[in-house]
Amino acid sequence: MILNGNKINEKLNTTDLSTEEDLFFLEEDSDITLSENLSNPWKIIIADDEEEVHVMTKMVLKKFFFEGRPLKLISAYSGKETIEAMIENDDVAMIILDVVMETENSGLDVVREIRDKIKNPFVRIILRTGQPGQAPEEDVIKNYDINDYKSKTELTVQKLYTAVISSLRSFRDMKTIEKNKVGLEKIISSSKDIFEIKSIEKFSNGILKQLERLLDYCDGRETRIDAAIINYTYGVISSVVGSGKYNDSSALSLEDEIDESLLMSIKKVIREKKSIFFDNIFIGYFTSLGIHENVILLEASRELGQFEIDLLKIFSSNVSIALENIYLNMEIIDTQKEVIFTLGEIVETRSKETANHVRRVAEYSYILAKAYGITEENAKILRLASPMHDIGKIGIPDNILNKPGKLTEAEFEIIKTHSMIGFEILKQSSRRIMKTAAMIALEHHERWDGLGYPSGKKAEEIEIFSRITSLVDVFDALGHKRVYKEKWIMDDILEYIKNERGKMFDPLIVDIFFKHIDEILEIRAKYPDND
């Protein structure tokens, strides 16, 4: 049978496309309530200026399914209408396109616009013509990005059926490749973001955001997820970061918020040390340094497809590597902190001062820096650098450093050199912490009024880190016994700091100090001395 207007009354059931139970044709204006598959039909544009061709083509394809999805046939009667239909439906899978409509080359013009202007490489285009000689097949196939070229006299029911199956299969495969390509690009982009994060909490929040983006991309619409990242250390829940219904979860309440069957699945994942997927749930397992076990619990608002599962697996592998890097980085930082505190403690012990002095100075500095408006990162740098403020005392002779009485003028001049000695020791490093520590060592005895040493700097000529360290160093030293003095009572210490506001100390830092005195005293109590 030939698909032509003058043959429309011939029987169309000579080719058995499927059984009656499997067939469905979706009219454009259908208001039938459909299942998810039926409501997601393959869209095909019939572009022809002959009404009979539209009627006949719809009759042939009305009993047609591909991969469980029916067709939605969209009619266009000119090149202009075809382009409008393409713009309104960016997911059209196939166009059956007549060459001659309002002009002799309307169909060819449509092909060029779709490929060159709309930039749609996916839609499959089958050109058909009633006048083959007007647009020679060889020239058309060579010069236009089409997928098939048929004369109307040769496009039988069977050949149309074959062309539709072939085109839909090709469209599906191209879209799958594109989706995988974009999905992998999303994975790379997401992984880049999480690899740049150094904080466990920020890292966990970052993972949750990237998971949401991945699932939104896969489904093409917003997907609600409830998720939690659970950290187990030595088999005990140590922290939880969550989103959705797990946003306010804590290590103590998490087990109460998860139903028993899901909790059993999480325990199975930890026991077997591998991730699992089922329905709308992903439970991912990661371990690091042989100590930290981490579980990502993700509950999506819909069932997860195989494509999403594959992307989550790839993403999870990158998460595992990034997590390992974070823990290694944390271990390096913790080691650095221990080395820094040990250096400070050695100096303090040598000068018969207590080791906890440097720990208290570190915490006081951090509190004042944050209150001053310094960023979290810089406040942490100060907390690490300030304990080395007196590292230069390592170069001061014992008989002067530990002299119980008042120093002579000459001895005091020697003591003052510890600022420059500390600077010279620390300045050689290119590390930011050490450079900051070198600056603090040099300037922590400078005064706001310019009467300090070694350079007589004043006011804001002195770096803010040094001005903060200066105040907390004096506050802590006055409150504890030293070889050259007795311990002061707190009221006298606070009165002294008030009196030195605008003299020894930056007035603003003094004000901040008193606003946060309760926090300061808590730190003092946390790291006591036996004096």
Region 39-47: what's the mean pLDDT?
89
| 287/374 same-domain check | no
Q: Is residue 430 part of a domain?
A: yes
Mapped onto helix, strand or coil, the DSSP state of residue 525 is helix
> Distance between the two ends of the chain, CA-based, in angstroms?
107
| 155/245 same-domain check | no
Q: Is residue 334 part of a domain?
A: no
Q: Is residue 424 part of a domain?
A: yes
Q: Is residue 182 part of a domain?
A: no
- pLDDT tens string 102-140: 888 888 999 999 999 998 988 999 988 876 556 666 677
Q: Among 58-62, 145-149, 292-296, 502-506, name the one with the lowest average pLDDT.
A: 292-296
| 310/367 same-domain check | no
Q: Is residue 115 part of a domain?
A: yes
- pLDDT tens string 381-431: 899 889 889 888 888 888 888 888 788 899 999 999 999 998 998 888 777
Decide which of 71 and 38 is more confident. Answer: 71
| 46/167 same-domain check | yes
Decide which of 174 and 99 is more confident. Answer: 99
CA atoms within 13 A on the CB side of 108: 15
Which CATH number do you get for residue 111? 3.40.50.2300
Cα separation, 111 vs 145, in Å, equals: 7
Q: Write down the pLDDT at residue 16.
A: 34
3-class DSSP string for 248-302: CCCCCCHHHHCCHHHHHHHHHHHHHCCCEEECCEEEEEEEECCCEEEEEEEEECC
Q: Is residue 336 part of a domain?
A: no
432: Cα separation from own chain's centroid: 26
- pLDDT tens string 437-453: 999 999 999 999 999 99
Q: Which domain holds residue 422?
A: 351-526
| 163/201 same-domain check | no
Looking at the chain, the whole-number percentage of residues with pLDDT higher than 70 is 69
Decide which of 462 and 528 is more confident. Answer: 462
| 113/232 same-domain check | no
| 310/362 same-domain check | no
Q: Is residue 343 part of a domain?
A: no
| 365/498 same-domain check | yes
| 250/376 same-domain check | no
Q: Give the total number of structural domains in the chain.
A: 3
| 384/244 same-domain check | no
- Catalytic residues, by residue number, are 393
| 157/218 same-domain check | no
| 166/205 same-domain check | no
Q: Is residue 223 part of a domain?
A: yes
